[in-house]
Structure 1
Amino acid sequence: MKAAYTKPFLTAAFIVLLDQIIKIWVRQHMLPGDVIHFMGNRGMLRYIENNGMAFGMELGGELGKLTLTLFRIVAVGGIGYGLVHLIKHKYHRGLIMMVALILAGALGNIIDSVFYGVIYGYAPLFHGKVVDMFYFPLVSGNFPMWFPIWKGEEFVFFRPIFNLADSAISIGVIMILLNQKRYFKHEEPEVSSPNSEMVED
C-alpha cells in the first residue's frame, strides 16, 4: 500500500479497534442500565443497547433494523471508495482524515449490527444491537413557564448516549462542514484581459 494510503486507513483501523475494545469491556463489566460515574453527575458510562442509528435513533421493527444494517454496509463501501478517490486525487489532507473518521465510525457500528447478535447469542446475523455508553448530561433543569411548547418540562443537555464510533462520525462531519472552503478550495485559471494583450503587443 502506498504511503499516502497508510495514515488515513491506519487511523480508521485504530478507531475501530478502540471502539470495539470499549464496547467489549462495557459488555463484560456492566449490565444494561448500569452507570459508572467518572465526572460526577456530569459525565458517566451508562450501558445501553439500541437497534438504530447514531445517538440511539432508530428505525422501527425488524425490517427497519435489517434495512438500516444493509444501508450501513452499502454506505461504508461508498465511503471507503470515496476515501480512496480522495487520496488518489490528492485532496486536502484534512478532508481525507475526516472522511477516514467517518469511515471508522460507520464501520465500528456495523460490526455491532452484523455480528453482536450472533456472537452474544441473542439475535441472527444483521440484527445485532449497537452498544452505547458515554453520557454527558452537562446541563439540566426545567424550561421556564413562559417558554413555548415545552414550558415547565425538564431538559437535559447533552441527553443522547453515544459511543466512540458515533463521536468519530460527528467530528468528521462537523469538521468538513466548518472547513469546506479550505478542504474543497481550487485555483481558478487566470484569464487574460484584452488590455493585457494590448500591453504585450
Structure 2
Amino acid sequence: MKAAYTKPFFIAALIILLDQAIKIWVRTHMQLQEEIPLLGNRGMLHYTENNGMAFGMELGGELGKLALTLFRIVAVCGIGYGLVHLIKHKYHRGLIMMVALIFAGAVGNIIDSAFYGIIYNYAPLFHGRVVDMFYFPLLTGHFPKWLPVWGGEEYIFFRPVFNLADAAISVGVFMILINQKRYFKQEEPEISNPNSEMVEE
C-alpha cells in the first residue's frame, strides 16, 4: 500500500488507540464524577459517562440509544469509504487528514457504545456508554440580572465534558469549514488568448 494510503490511516489508528487508552485508564482508576485537577480550577479530568452524542448530548430511551449506535456504525462506514475515495482521487492532503480525524473520532466513540456494556458487564451489545473526561471551565460567573431570560444565572465556558474522540471530530469539522476554498479548490481550465492566433498568423 502506498504511503498516501497508510499515513491518514496510521494517524487515525494512533488517535483511536490513544483515545481508548485514556478511557480505559479513567474507567479503571477513577470513580464516576471524580475530578483530578490539571490546570487548577480551569482544567481537569472529570470522569463521566453519557448515552449519546458528542459532548454529552443524548438521544433518549433504549431505542434511541440503539438507533444512535447503529447510525454511528453506518456513518463510520460511510466516512471510511469517503476517506478511501479522497485518497484514490488525490484530493487535498489537508482535507484527507481532517477526514481521517473525523473517522478516528467516530470509531473511538463507537467502540464505547458498541462494546463497553459487554466488556464492563453493565449493558447488552450496542448499549454501552461513552466515557468522557476532559473538562475546561475556563470562564465562570453570573449573567447580569438585567439580562432577559438568563439574568442572574451562572455561566460556564467551556461547560461540556468531552474525550479525545470528540476533540478529533471537532477539529476535523472545524478545519474543513474554515479551509473550504483551499480544500475544494478546482483547477480552472486554461483560456487561450484570442490575440495569440493573430500573432501566429
TM-score range, shorter chain: over 0.9
Structure 2 counterpart of 1:143: 143
Structure 2 counterpart of 1:84: 84
Q: Equivalents in 1 of 2:169, 2:151: separation in Å? A: 33
AA partner of residue 147 (structure 2): F
Structure 2 counterpart of 1:64: 64
TM-score by length of 2: 0.97
Q: Equivalents in 1 of 2:170, 2:198: separation in Å? A: 54
AA partner of residue 152 (structure 1): G
Gaps of 5+ in 1: none
Report the secondary structure of 1:20's partner residue: helix
Q: Equivalents in 1 of 2:195, 2:53: separation in Å? A: 59
Residues 53-97 of structure 1 show CA distances to partners (whole Å, capped at 9, x for unaligned) of: 000001010111001000100010000001001111111111111
TM-score by length of 1: 0.97
Q: Equivalents in 2 of 1:56, 1:94: separation in Å? A: 28
| Higher alpha-carbon deviation: 191-200 or 116-125 | 191-200
Report the secondary structure of 1:131's partner residue: strand
Matches within 5 A, 1:23-102: 23-102=23-102
Q: Equivalents in 2 of 1:196, 1:145: separation in Å? A: 72
Residues 118-144 of structure 1 show CA distances to partners (whole Å, capped at 9, x for unaligned) of: 000000000000000000000000011
Structure 1 counterpart of 2:169: 169
Tell me the CA shift for residue 149 of structure 1: 1.6
Tell me the CA shift for residue 199 of structure 1: 4.0
Gaps of 5+ in 2: none
Tell me the CA shift for residue 197 of structure 1: 3.7
Structure 1 counterpart of 2:131: 131
**Runs of 4+ in structure 1 over 3 Å off:** 193-201
Report the number of matched residues: 201
Structure 1 counterpart of 2:19: 19
Q: Equivalents in 1 of 2:34, 2:95: separation in Å? A: 38
Tell me the CA shift for residue 198 of structure 1: 3.7
Q: Equivalents in 1 of 2:9, 2:70: separation in Å? A: 22
Structure 2 counterpart of 1:7: 7
Q: Equivalents in 2 of 1:97, 1:25: separation in Å? A: 27
Tell me the CA shift for residue 43 of structure 1: 0.3
Q: Equivalents in 2 of 1:181, 1:28: separation in Å? A: 45
Report the secondary structure of 1:41's partner residue: helix
Tell me the CA shift for residue 196 of structure 1: 4.3
Q: Equivalents in 2 of 1:43, 1:62: separation in Å? A: 33
